[in-house]
Amino acid sequence: MSQFFSSKENQNSSDREKNLCSRLADFIQYAKTQCDYYAQTLADIEASEINSRQMLATLPVTRKSALIKLQAERAPLAGMTAASAVIGRLFQSPGPINEPESTTEDWWRMGSAFYAAGFRSKDKVQNCLSYHLTPGGFILDSGARACGCVVIAAGPGQSEQQLDVIESLRPEGYCGTPSFLKILLEKAATNNRDISSIRKALVTGEAYMPQLREQFKQAGITALQAYATADVGLIAYESDPHQGLIIAEDILVEIVRPGTNQLVAAGEVGEVVVTSFNRDYPLIRFATGDLSAELEGTSACGRTNMRIKGWMGRADQTTKVKGMFVHPEQVEKVRLQHGAINKVRLVVSQHQFQDQMLLLCEVDSAVLAEEGAADTAEQLTALIAISLKNITKLNGKVQLVATDSLQDDGKVIDDIRELA
């Protein structure tokens, strides 16, 4: 059995670079011809001149955070899909941001991540990432099937039922967020449930803490991580031994200074920018908003592509909670739905590896000073919590605070989670 999912994974690094760069000119010309967005943004670019990383770095960056406005102006996908694309599914992630999917096999290119994590043909995989509106469940589903695995389309939540399924179907593997795998392990231990069939996992959607890795190891589970987005699909993945994340084949990754299109020095932390040679949904210098840094050398596993350190935070105030993006624009929508709120700050924290949200709301003192203030505050808190859930699709607590108690620093989302 091959050590690699694709022979490209251990090819000579210079050959890979030469091949990818040789594809740039034709791909950029294709995008300009097929996509209204690139016809406009790259109108002054002579595609034939873009044949190296140095020339690629002269092109403008398209930031993920800009998609909300771009798609609102030109629904549903801002003219970024190719005219010849055959789109089978359309998703809407929080923001909202719309994402397309062609239903061709392994369109998201996730097979190599599953293979590196030890998944093989006939393995049963309990997929606990959501299939609802966001593409996460489908992204993992397609990658597992590309390795010949049988997918149990479980989705997130309903932990008791998930344990029933594991005991009944005896899956060899799990895929989903690391925090939900932790929940299943702890609930199984508390209730004397047998989930010992699970010996491997591919986790994604959240920062993967060393303590969780050790906890899974103690439970007999080898859990490796994948870094993917709803726009690009697979960007990088972990192998054994875990020495950073290996960039996926068939994409070019740059690390740029946040807020610019300028490359940082090797090893410096910056924003992950991807050029994906996807002819249905061309993405050219697409800035993910995620921070990382390039690692020197190659992995001891034999895969030869560039490596990055992994997820190191966000370049903007957008953050990810329980695998779902939360944007400053969404927090502002909550504020606008309640006239009594002057200012808001969403504090994202973590308790026992579980993400938590607390929305601090400055409220006019007059509202709380009137007769029946306690009841008014309780009712307002409950209504704001409902708005927060409806807009972000996530549960969070709400706390009313005095006027002028929040710092005037422009921060709407304050992510205080530790990354390691």
Mean pLDDT (whole number) for 345-372 = 81
> Of 230, 261, 284, which marks where a domain is finished?
230
Residue 169: count other Cβ atoms within 10 Å of its Cβ.
Answer: 13
Same domain, 123 and 224: yes
Examine residue 390 and state whether it is found in any structural domain, yes or no: yes
Query: Containing domain of residue 43, as a range?
Result: 10-94+246-316
Mean of the per-residue pLDDT values of the chain: 93
* pLDDT class of 311 with cuts at 50, 70, 90: confident
* 142 lies in the same domain as 225: yes
On whether both 270 and 217 belong to a single domain, the answer is no
What CATH number should be reported for the domain holding residue 112?
3.40.50.12780
How many domains are contained in the chain? 3
What does the pLDDT read at residue 403?
85
pLDDT in tens, 104-148: 999 999 999 999 999 999 999 999 999 999 999 999 999 999 999
Q: What is the CATH number of the domain that holds 388?
A: 3.30.300.30
The Cα 310–Cα 203 span in angstroms is 13
pLDDT of residue 343: 86
DSSP assignment of 324-373, as one string? EEE-HHHHHHHHHT-TTEEEEEEEEEEETTEEEEEEEEEE-HHHHHSTTH
Does 312 lie in the same domain as 410? no
Across the range 34-58, mean pLDDT stands at 97
> In angstroms, what CA-CA distances link 221 with 152, 197, 326?
18, 9, 30
Residue 225 has pLDDT above 90, yes or no: yes
Within this chain, do residues 310 and 366 fall inside the same structural domain, yes or no? no
Residues 118 and 196 in one domain: yes
Q: How far is CA 219 from CA 214, 225, 319, in A?
A: 9, 17, 30
Average confidence (pLDDT) over 12-32: 97
163 in a domain, yes or no? yes
